[in-house]
Amino acid sequence: MLKNKRVFSYLITEMLPSFLLGVFVFICILLMFQALRLTEFILVHGLRWTVLLKIMGYMSISFLPLLLPMSLLFAVLMTYNRLSQDSEIIAFKSAGVNSMTLVLPAIVFACLVSFLSSQTSFYLAPWGNRQFEVLINKLGNTKAAASIKEGTFSESFFDLVVYANKVESKSGSLTNLFIYDEKQPDAPLTIIAPEGQIIPDETHPGHSVLLRLFRGQIHRKGESHTVINFDSYDILLNDPIKLEERQKSAPSLTLHELNVLRGNPLTPEDKRFEFDIEFHKRSALAIACLVFSLIGVGFGIVTNRRSGKASGFVLSVGFIILYWIVYLSFESMVRSGKMPPWLGIWIPNFLFTIFGVYQLRKSWN
């Protein structure tokens, strides 16, 4: 009994550092894939490094539901791969340690990571997604001048078509402005002004932007053409929106919010379908930890000495890619209506469980 406890604690302590290393490595890899987006934030919005670190932090938190199963597979493969290469598996068996005692630490560790993954999926990651959405909205408003290009018509500026001959992104000043506003299709506005100034909301940064124009004209088309001259004219481009009142995307919803919206008869059918997919995706990712533990043990103990320590990392990346190919294929089938979310999202876990159990039995036999 004491011997089994020592083996259990030994294997857990072996897996933990590899797991933490895997989390760090996979976060770095996923952030590298976001490098182009991060570069755009720096160039377009002129971010300070503190704001950039916030963005990277929120991104990393939102990645956690994906990273934890991946890191678990990495840790189990690396640990059992090393045990196999150093002949420790044979030594344990020679000492009378049975197969279940060697597999149990991986399963227990997977259960702990699965619980952690479920909590991050339904609570922490939605918070990270939420903070990221709001921060990006604030950047889009407070750095609004950066979205206007000199000498070109910009159509992504708060649903307005804006032309400015000269733009000072830092000060927010604009020269020789032309603005076309068709929010009211029956009476579109054309505004011309030699000067303008973008003024962010100082009391609620990022919630609203004021565009102040000087010494210009407003042309309104309708039943009759109207021209209005002005010395100063203010356009409020975005009404203040409180964080709790902003509409959340599906990845930003907590478990409680998802269940409320899924069970609400007033929720549109297409939205309810999207929320069902989101719920099953998060649940399936948490359970994937248990599946990956079986695969990790099964393949970790059969690697040979010549494969080297890098084989654990290569195998983990290979299985992760294979899993995501299968997973995304079935998710695509679910979104196209070929199968319900409760079936399509869970099939990859079912298939890989069968594969993992088969490989585990084959390895020990």
Calpha distance 129→86 (Å, rounded): 43
Mean pLDDT of the chain: 82
Calpha distance 199→191 (Å, rounded): 18
Least confident of 118-122, 139-143, 172-176, 239-243: 239-243
Tell me: pLDDT of 47 over 80: no
pLDDT at 199: 77
Q: pLDDT tens across 136-163, in order?
A: 766 665 555 556 777 788 765 666 788 8
Nearest 5°: phi and psi at 76? -65, -45
pLDDT at 312: 67
Calpha distance 106→95 (Å, rounded): 20
Q: Are 208 and 141 in contact (CB under 8 A)?
A: yes
CA dihedral 19, 22, 24, 27 (to 10 degrees): -130
Helices 269-300, 255-263: axis angle to 10 degrees equals 140
The predicted model scores a pTM of 0.73
To the nearest whole percent, how much of the chain has pLDDT over 90?
31
Calpha distance 41→47 (Å, rounded): 7
Q: pLDDT tens across 315-342, in order?
A: 888 888 999 999 999 999 999 989 999 9
